[in-house]
Structure 1
């Protein structure tokens, strides 16, 4: 049975409980809602919450805990030769999960029977059955791996059945409890309001918990990296040359320089153009012009970044090479910092323009009228009244554009290349932190090696960099807001 059926059964039971509790509560009042403590639908909502919430929470907790318990049980049966190191353990578990997933798919497609998959004690017979079902099993695949895959699939089946029984049992108990309290004198409204409050608090905490989870996941892996590689070499070395055979140079300075250089060029182009466009649309453009120009600018925000990357690779890069870099003797490559920066700046224009336009429009008209009443011109009003009032929001828009530029990957891959170097020449190929994070985690990687773990150290550095930008922007916003107020 698919795992999706269990929550669907729970929701169906909760909906049925809604109508049953509402009818029962109404019947205890003789069909007169005026005699009830709460509205009839509130009793139904109470039953729906008591039926669905505990069961779904229990199901989620069991689902989250299952992989850890399952992996621990399967690993306990593996020989020491397959668990001698973290890398070997990771490879063994990956192979077990792959074969177990193939067994599950083959059984669902009826190309493999459950008896052949689970009851084959002879490894040769099991290998032949799996190969016949289209599961890639080589003669070098050990018997321990095949037995582990059997155990993994069997554990999956038992866990799915146990989870369904426990979750549906919790839903049934919650429904019985809610129906017993579906009486006219019971205060169901308080229970429903507390449930909704908890739901809202949970929704509000999702972003916070997600951020905490991201930070801790990067911290743990970065800690493992710095146990194997010197932090001084990582932060202060100017060489980036990862070699999975050993002897790697993993200095982040070339990557950080490329990130900041490309982002700076992008912001130099995007911020003035976007801000001037926002000022024109909000203060000078007619209603007809605004209705045409604003949607056209915002179209740029919906273009996929891979399209911008292709535009940089095919159009912008060759133009800069043929008409600027080559004639001035600055380079002969179409992939360069300037190519990626200019195209990324085009991508960022709608972020700066749209947000700044909304912020400028939010400035009260009374401020403009007061400035006009004192004899100021429209340009003077924009410079000395409107922009200072909108400055905190404009700084936020610029910060969003900067964060987007720092985290961009596809435009850099296609427009700037992948060379990690320190250079002031904007027509040379360079790369960024995000590109190297992707490259270090692509392909068959050993998560115990520093060449792979360095991606988490780079990610943590990028997170700290954006955090510093936020702190600086907050300081600027508060300073100018105090001056204006």
Structure 2
């Protein structure tokens, strides 16, 4: 039974608990001639919540812990002789998981029986062809010990899944039945239901916080592992980025940071002024008819996939800048450049700035406008000296959102700016960004434990720290500025 089917069963039990709890409350009230403390639906909700929430929490915890426990136990069964020279145990465990998945598919298809699998000897040459027929190719270095570990992995996984299904359904039925038995007309079902819902809302609000801690933790641990293998001083101070997966790599982050901020600066240089002018015009000067048409038309730009912007940069903007500006001025001969990616990214960011800034400007109280007009100010003076300062915190937030979007963009940079890691001021030269190199370092058939792969986590953590610092600085500036108007 898959987790999806198990969730459906729990949901069915939840609906049944709601119906039965509501019906029991009404029946007891009618029999005893008593008045219900809460509405009938609250009694059904209390039973449904007891039937669903603990079972789903148990299922989530089980799905998280079971693979960890099984892999730790199976990993101890693999002798060191079964690990290839220069390889890692994690790679062998990947083979174990693939073989176990293939055995499951063979058993489900009926081409392999459970009895045959249980009595199969260490020599598994006869099973290689069957696994290859379903797309599980085994290398010649897969030893019989790995195959036996895969059988053990499959057995433990099957036992764990059976226990999981039994425990989840048992908890749902047991707690649901106990909640159903507790239903009485005098029961404060509304309080029970609202307490449960309040706890669920608190738990939901913690998801974002826990997710952030999880992301930072995963980046931090892998980054520490990377710096144990590669000097931190060379990583932060070197001006050369030259990964060599066979050794002798130079992994300096400075060219990547320069490319990231250079492309983002060009994009914001285009998006922020145009976006703000569009927002001011739509909020203060345009008619309702024009606004109802122009604002959705501009926001369409935000819904265009970034791959489309990348193709636009590669096919149209890049050759245009090369033929009209770069080559005539002797600044470059490549269509991939910082200017290409920056201009196209700036077009993509215009809706982020204009739409949010427009909403912020419209949120400024009308009394401030009328007071300015009453003092004799013109409309343009009111916009410059009253509306914009009052809306500045929201506008800064819109610019920060656009900046974060620019720093994290990948596809436009790949297709518009190229992949060359270099330091330079010429905006018509090809450069690259941190996000592009994170993707390239994690792509391909490479050993995960190598510095050339783990550097992706160091790049991600560095980018996260820079973005966090930018947000903190912006909050400080906004608060200092807002105090002058309070």
TM over 0.5: same fold? yes
Higher deviation after alignment, 446-455 or 134-143: 134-143
Aligned position for 2:338: 337
Aligned position for 1:149: 150
Deviations 1:459-485 (A, max 9, x none): 000000110110111012111111122
Aligned position for 1:386: 387
Cα distance in 2, alignment partners of residues 118 and 385 from structure 1: 80
1:70-469 to structure 2, matched below 5 A, reads: 70-82=70-82, 87-121=87-121, 122-469=123-470
Structure 1 length normalisation: TM-score?
Answer: 0.97
Deviations 1:421-480 (A, max 9, x none): 000000000000000000000011222111111110000000001101101110121111
Aligned position for 1:4: 4
1:65 maps to 2:65: yes
Per-residue deviation at 1:81?
Answer: 2.5
CA contact (8 A) 1:117 1:129 kept: no
Aligned position for 2:39: 39
Structure 2 length normalisation: TM-score?
Answer: 0.96
Cα distance in 2, alignment partners of residues 382 and 82 from structure 1: 73
Per-residue deviation at 1:150?
Answer: 1.8
**RMSD, matched Cα:** 1.7
Cα distance in 2, alignment partners of residues 193 and 403 from structure 1: 38
1:481 maps to 2:443: no
| Structure 1 residues 370 and 134: alpha-carbon distance in aligned structure 2, compared to 1, 3 A threshold | closer
Cα distance in 1, alignment partners of residues 221 and 70 from structure 2: 22
CA contact (8 A) 1:282 1:361 kept: yes
Cα distance in 1, alignment partners of residues 392 and 286 from structure 2: 21
What SS does the aligned partner of 1:137 have?
A: coil
Cα distance in 2, alignment partners of residues 450 and 158 from structure 1: 38
CA contact (8 A) 1:86 1:448 kept: no
CA contact (8 A) 1:87 1:447 kept: no
What SS does the aligned partner of 1:136 have?
A: coil
1:19 maps to 2:19: yes
CA contact (8 A) 1:17 1:48 kept: yes
Per-residue deviation at 1:115?
Answer: 3.9
Per-residue deviation at 1:124?
Answer: 2.5
Cα distance in 2, alignment partners of residues 151 and 167 from structure 1: 24
CA contact (8 A) 2:298 2:351 kept: yes
What SS does the aligned partner of 1:430 have?
A: coil
> Which runs of no fewer than 5 residues in structure 1 stay unpaired?
none
CA contact (8 A) 1:22 1:43 kept: yes
Deviations 1:251-304 (A, max 9, x none): 100000000000000000000000000000010011111111111100000000
Per-residue deviation at 1:21?
Answer: 1.3
What SS does the aligned partner of 2:25 have?
A: helix
Cα distance in 1, alignment partners of residues 303 and 238 from structure 2: 39
| Structure 1 residues 33 and 198: alpha-carbon distance in aligned structure 2, compared to 1, 3 A threshold | farther
How many residues get paired? 485
Cα distance in 2, alignment partners of residues 118 and 462 from structure 1: 51
Cα distance in 2, alignment partners of residues 290 and 50 from structure 1: 50
Per-residue deviation at 1:132?
Answer: 4.8
Per-residue deviation at 1:133?
Answer: 4.8
